[in-house]
Amino acid sequence: MDLGLKDRAALVTGGAGGIGEAIVRTLVAEGVHVVVVDRDETSGTALREELTESGHRVDLLVADLDEADRCGPVVEEALALAGRLDALVNNAGFNDGVGLESGSPDEFVASLRRNLVHYYALAHFALPALKEAAGAVVNIASKVAVTGQGGTSGYAAAKGGVLALTREWAAELLPWGIRVNAVLPAEVMTPLYRHWLSGFDDPEAALDHVLHRIPLGQRMTTTEEIATVVAFLLSPRAGHITGQHLYVDGGYVHLDRALT
C-alpha cells in the first residue's frame, strides 16, 4: 500500500532493534529516507548496510540520548544527512525496573532521562524543520502508563509523561499543521522482552501465562503490526488524526479478561 511517504525523511530513535527496527524497515519500504539513532553501533551498522545494499536510504547516528545536550547535535546531523525532516518517531527507551523499593530518587530521575526527557529535547530541536514540512510526530508509549505494573515507577511515570506530551504538543502545534500521536504497545516480542522472560525459572511457562491473557488470538503483537500503525500515522492518509493514543495490543488493556 502506498501511504504517500515517498521521498520524505524521518528520524527514528532506538531504531537498531525491536520495535524501532520494524519501524525503520516499514518506512524505508514506503520510500522514506530514514535516519536511525541508536547507541548500539554494531546492530545499527548491520541494519544500515543491509538496507542500503537493498537500495534504501538509511543513515545511522550513534548516540546516547540519555544526555539531553546530545539531542540538538543529533537533529542537526540528521538534517545534514537527509536535507529535511518530515517525521520524528520517539521510540528509544526501556523498562528499567526503577521502583519505589528497588530504586532511589536519583535512579528515578535517571529513568526519566532514559525514557522521557529526550522525547521532549528531540521534538524541541526538530521543531523548525517539522514546521517547515508540516510534519508529524509519533511517540511510542506503553500500556504500563495506564495499567501500572509494579516495581517500575520511573518507566511508568515516563510513559505517562509521553501520553501527556502527545496531547500537549498536538494542541500547541495545530497552527503549523503538525500532527502528534502516540502508539501504546502491550505485549510485543522484542530482544528486551526475551531478556525479561529469561529471568524466570521457566521462561516458556511465563510466556504461556501472558499469551493466555491476550484476548485477540492469544498471541503477542508483532513488531511489524506496531510499525504499520506508526507509518500510517506519519502519512497523509492519517491527515486528520492528531492527539490520539492508539492501543495496538490485541485488546490486552481494554477487553474483559473473562474473554480469555
Catalytic residues, which ones? 155
Residue 101: strand pairing partners: none
**CB contact at 8 A, 245 and 141:** yes
Rg (CA), the chain: 18
8 Å CB contact between 214 and 251: yes
SS3 label, residue 180? strand
Q: List Cβ neighbours of 43 (8 Å cut-off, separation of 6 or more).
A: 16, 17, 21
The CA angle 157-179-138, to the nearest 5 degrees, is 45
Sign of CA dihedral 152, 154, 155, 156: positive
DSSP for 73-88? HHHHHHHHHHS---EE
Q: What H or E segment, with its residue span, contains residue 109? A: helix 105-112
Task: Retrieve residue 20's grid coordinates.
Answer: 524501532
- The Cα–Cα gap between 48 and 35 comes to 9
**From the centroid of its chain, how far is CA 210?**
22
Q: What residue type is assigned to position 103 of the chain? A: G
Q: Which residues face 13 on adjacent strands? A: 37
